Amino acid sequence: METLTPLKDLLPQVTHTRNPGMPLDLDWVASVQANTSAIERRAATISGRRSVKKEWQAAWLLKAISLIDLTTLAGDDTEGRVKRLCAKARQPVAPWMLEKLGLPHLTTGAVCVYHEMVETAVRALEGTSIPVAAVSTGFPAGLSPYKLRIAEIGESVRAGAREIDIVISRRHVLTQNWQALYDEMAEMRAACGEAHVKAILATGELGTLRNVARASLICMMAGADFIKTSTGKEPVNATLPVTLTMIRAIRDYEDRTGIKVGYKPAGGIAKAKDALTYLALIKDELGHPWLQPDLFRFGASSLLGDIERQLEHHLTGHYSAANRHAMG
């Protein structure tokens, strides 16, 4: 089986032009199809076609940490919990492990919180380059009054959020109202200003992979910087078939426009082995540029704890208890 390359081959940061969007092209949208059986067969083979062991596995797990949006989106969030999460984002792996692994410094890709906790997170991350991402627009259902959803984006940006995770109106996809979806996404993109916008498709509620592919394309046409699978609150969140569908839409968009758009799977990715599978799929389908935080993120928190356990096993030969790797 083929082995993935070491971390040193993945380090250079790729710069790219932010997605400016394009006029809505309904002919292109109508031409988009999704062969569900073929997509599912391809997704089922990826974990068996890539093998990473020993130092290569450790390197790829360190890479995965740098791509995590460390997240807390609970109704009982407190400032103390968010501060502890930010401390974990600053130092996601014990210093002794980093020293043995030969990595001087490592942080997560971002910290993701509700609007009410943005200012707390921004203060807790002062002096770092870790961005704060805010979920917005009536997260997770996206059914609050439209003017309030747009206003919420502006409030989060003014509070210091550098990334905004917005939720689309699923009904526009289910009724094939592509103009409405495009207009909504474009206005939300404009409201974000310089903050990057991740469009959450809630793919588990869109019915078909064809809908997922077409919604992905519409959001990119309207200027989304990232497309994201899920809120993490749906019964079905990130899956490999959905991921394959969305990243092929990203690839088609780059082929047509020359613009790179990021991808974020969220919800249900809790094990280190799952992270490796997703990274292998991204590398195969999109290539090295997407193995950087500006083009790929995991929407997860529990994933980090399992990665820490795997790294400790790599260094010591023993698995530690999960409670030794709490988020704060």
- The residue ranges of every structural domain in the chain are 32-325
d(CA 39, CA 254): 20
pLDDT digits over 170-195, tens only? 999 999 999 999 999 999 999 999 99
Catalytic-labelled residue, pool 69, 165, 225, 274: 165
Catalytic-labelled residue, pool 88, 198, 228, 260: 228
Q: Is 100 part of the annotated catalytic residue set?
A: no
pLDDT digits over 298-327, tens only? 998 899 999 999 999 999 988 776 666 666
d(CA 95, CA 98): 5
CA 312 to chain centre: 25
CATH class of 32-325: alpha beta
Q: Is 228 part of the annotated catalytic residue set?
A: yes
The amino acid sitting at 153 is: I
Catalytic-labelled residue, pool 63, 88, 198, 264: 264
pTM of the model: 0.93
Q: Is 306 part of the annotated catalytic residue set?
A: no
d(CA 269, CA 302): 8
Spatial contact of 52 and 275, defined as CB atoms under 8 Å apart: no
- Please say if the pLDDT value at position 6 is more than 50: no
